[in-house]
Amino acid sequence: MSDRTPLIAGNWKMNLNHLEAIAHVQKITFSLTDKDYEAVEVAVLPPFTDLRTLQTLVEHDKLKLKYGAQDLSAHDSGAYTGEISGAMLAKLRCSYVAVGHSERRQYHGETDELCNAKVKAAFKNDVTPILCVGEGLEVRKAGNQVAHTLAQIDGGLKDIPAEQAERIVIAYEPVWAIGTGEVATPEDAQEVCGAIRGRLAELYDQELADKVRIQYGGSVKPGNVAAIMAQPDVDGALVGGACLDADDFVKIVRFRD
Ligand code: PEP
């Protein structure tokens, strides 16, 4: 049993405006107890437009809930219309930011090189990146899921020093399992999460690899989370669809019950 605290994070994607966010967060945090927060770190990743609302709620009510963004710019500031910088996220006291979510890679053409620049921008501003990696269906069918995912790890972590890398969160999200209801088996999740930890040990060392939290993401639900979390190299879940239902999200946080 590792001493890594599991991180359960809800990726709201492009759902819930800032008013809906209030009701949703209140429902989640009303249910969660100190016991829950002791066992698991809980975070939500709402759209940018909800972040100020999250900050107000968390600070005013002294909530233990963490929050963060779904993306950030690789740049610090300047003529980058529509982009949000790491410094802006830090000012809103974001703890986390997702980098390279498969929907960013697929619909916005984000490459490993860009993800690497975003990981650097996040660390520069003391916001912890959640680097998302994972293979598509064709790669999985060809049996190349490990090699594909490790190449994304190599690219995303290029030139990241150990003192930053030990704080990163990796989310292994097989693209074929995201939003499809197709969940990877616990063994599928362990195969790749274990390989990711092995690669971290090669790139840095075993001590660092043992510190890094590796989440699984892809159609996680209350009914399947426990078996996935029981795998030795799975340290949390990145939850899409099911996190929009406050009761389901709380059940996922309580995966041990
Ligand atoms: C995600 O968006 O990161 C995700 C895992 O989505 P879902 O849980 O809906 O598959």
Q: Is 15 left (phi over 0), alpha (psi -120 to 50) or beta?
A: beta
Nearest CA, atom 4, ligand 1? 240
Q: How many helices (H) and strands (E) does the chain have?
A: 13, 8
CB of 178 shorter than 6 A to ligand 1: yes
At 182 the pLDDT is 83
Tell me: is residue 179 an annotated ligand-binding position: yes
Mean pLDDT, the chain, rounded, equals 97
CB of 217 shorter than 6 A to ligand 1: yes
Predicted confidence (pLDDT) per residue in 139-172, tens digit: 999 999 999 999 999 999 999 999 999 999 999 9
All structural domains of the chain? 7-253 (3.20.20.70)
Nearest-angstrom CA–CA distance, 112 and 157: 9
Nearest-angstrom CA–CA distance, 110 and 71: 11
Predicted confidence (pLDDT) per residue in 77-134, tens digit: 999 999 999 999 999 999 999 999 999 999 999 999 999 999 999 999 999 999 999 9
Phi, psi for residue 214 in degrees, rounded to 5: -120, 115
Predicted confidence (pLDDT) per residue in 184-231, tens digit: 999 999 999 999 999 999 999 999 999 999 999 999 999 999 999 999
ipTM, 2 decimals? Answer: 0.97
Strand partners, 216: 172, 237
| Cα-to-centroid distance, 100 and ligand 1 (Å) | 13
| Cα-to-centroid distance, 50 and ligand 1 (Å) | 19
